[in-house]
Amino acid sequence: MSSRVQVLLDFADPRQPEGPRWRHAFSDPLQVLQASSLAQVGAVLSAAQAAAEAGHWCLGFVRYEAAPAFDAALPTHAADGPLAWFAVFDRPQVWPAPDQGEALPAQVDWGPLLDRARFDQALADLHRRIADGECYQVNFTATCHGQLAQPDPQLQVTVAEAGRALFDALQRAQPGGYAAWINTGEEQWLSVSPELFFDWREGVLLTRPMKGTAPRGRDAAEDALREQALRASAKEQAENVMIVDLLRNDLSRIAQPHGVSVPQLFRTQALPSVWQMTSDVQARTREGCTLAEVFGALFPCGSVTGAPKVQAMKAIQALEPEPRGVYCGAMGVLRPGGAATFNVPIRTVGLLPDGRARCGIGSGITSGAHAQGEWQEWQHKQAFLRRASLPFSLLETLRLQDGALCNGQRHLARLARAAAHFNVQWDEVHVQKVLAQQVQRHPEGRWRLRLLLDAQGLAHAEAFALEDSPASVLLELDVRPFDEAHSEFTRFKTTRRAHYEAHASKTPGVYDTLLWNPQGELTECTRGNVAFLLAGHWFTPPLHCGLLDGVGREVALSEGWLREAVLRREDLPRVEALAFVNSLRGLIPARWAPAPAAD
């Protein structure tokens, strides 16, 4: 990796979240400030503040393990890098054009986050500590380790270039918020955090802790219900209030008398995979307050420790086997004049020169936390990482017959929904032109048209001769649940299909596998939807069971002969007839594959 320092900053203005963003690039710093020991942390912060007040831009981070520099009672593991690091720049540069980074591959092969048995054991330990009165809440996290992959050796992409490409992919997966990429030359930190740590300007210090989570819904109606449930949840509100009270106490250490207030409580924020609850806590700081004193009062942010902070951090040190690093520390900018804005680096990836990667995931544990619910929250929070770490394109497979696209508008509407979900630029005129070219090239015959939309919104299409459909097909019931039933890569059609391929039938003569979710509800096949005849009526599973909204299924529902109903594995003996359904082949009668012969 080049030792050249590079920084990209893409922060919202916390005082005007819908206004212009601070979007700048930086390189060739005038100076680099770093602390390799606890004793040096305060001096680095003071030097960064002085440089900003002198008219410079200062960008950098403070590791979670710097906490004892501000209060020796705060325990952490030993740091694995500089405790504080800031680069001083004269002026920002223009943000690089998209094609300078976004077209490069960015793939990380991630290992498991934490096995379920260890997770349950840790939660049991935390519940014991809470019951014993040691603490009220602990933010428990684990680190997922991965390795940067080189999908095409011919490209000779450096780790620095791959890190930039991965940052672009992370931003598409988790847009908005307080994003920054810092390449120190020795390590890279790629943060797409939605959480503000603090914004301090003109004597007013604003914090916006994020605590309280709910998964996004599968459609607009369910999404609204989940937001409403989060707002009304006594458990999530209690979790949020604990951290609000902690921050009120922290802020009072540097605030003017009666200068602490809570202007907003329990606001919900929509992120791609989860709803988050935030509150605003602010203070008017005392005259002469310094940046080092602000960190001394607030660091680490209570939303990533728990309460009381000292006891929560003791539990964290006991249960988490390795340092957090910049994750859960602070990353941000001091602008010319001294105004400071820092994020809490959640949704943050660390990358070393040898391509090793790390990313932390966690949640706040209270007395009301249940292992299954917290486990599911961790899976939802990992969605941004899975989405960004392996390149994929949006996919539609259309039937082109004698120069006409079958159900073309329905396919385009579904593709547009997927583009909105994955934050992919949508230009329908461009997509229509790509389709029109294929129609002109294949005016006769029957074709399978494969339409792809990449991460930059560029469409590509290919046509393949479509063979005759079979008169009937054999299906077999999967022997294990389809754990990815509720994944976004199941709800939307993309080129990422490994989860389907893992469940494809290996039995000779079997056309496809019938899947079922962990709740025992039937969902779909790996290549199409399914219909069941029961009591003289055709039924198909509803989308909330976890399946793709197939265009062929949509057409059948609109025609009225197919209805939605939840069906379980135990309902299969009552099924009078079976059919495989997709837009490419329509409806194909199906029957069950014979059971394997006994040994």
The catalytic residues are 195, 211
**Cβ–Cβ under 8 Å, residues 378 and 361:** yes
Whose structure tokens read 């011919």?
154
Please give the structure tokens belonging to residue 214.
């709910």
In total, the chain counts a number of residues equal to 599
Helices (H), 58-100: none
Q: Which amino acid is at 56?
A: H
Q: What is the rounded CA–CA span in Å between residue 194 and residue 178?
A: 6
Phi, psi of 238 (to 5 degrees): -60, -40
Sort 457 into a burial class: Cβ within 10 Å, 0-12 / 13-18 / 19+: middle
HEC assignment per residue over 109-129: EECCCCCHHHHHHHHHHHHHH
Please give the structure tokens belonging to residue 452.
């792809």
DSSP character string of 420-467: HHTT----HHHHHHHHHHHHHH--SSEEEEEEEE-TTS-EEEEEEEPP
Q: What is the rounded CA–CA span in Å between residue 124 and residue 370?
A: 10
**Cβ–Cβ under 8 Å, residues 551 and 583:** yes
Q: How far from the centroid of its chain's Cα atoms is residue 440's Cα?
A: 40
Whose structure tokens read 């198909």?
540
Q: What is the rounded CA–CA span in Å between residue 325 and residue 547?
A: 38
Sort 559 into a burial class: Cβ within 10 Å, 0-12 / 13-18 / 19+: exposed
Phi, psi of 95 (to 5 degrees): -60, 135
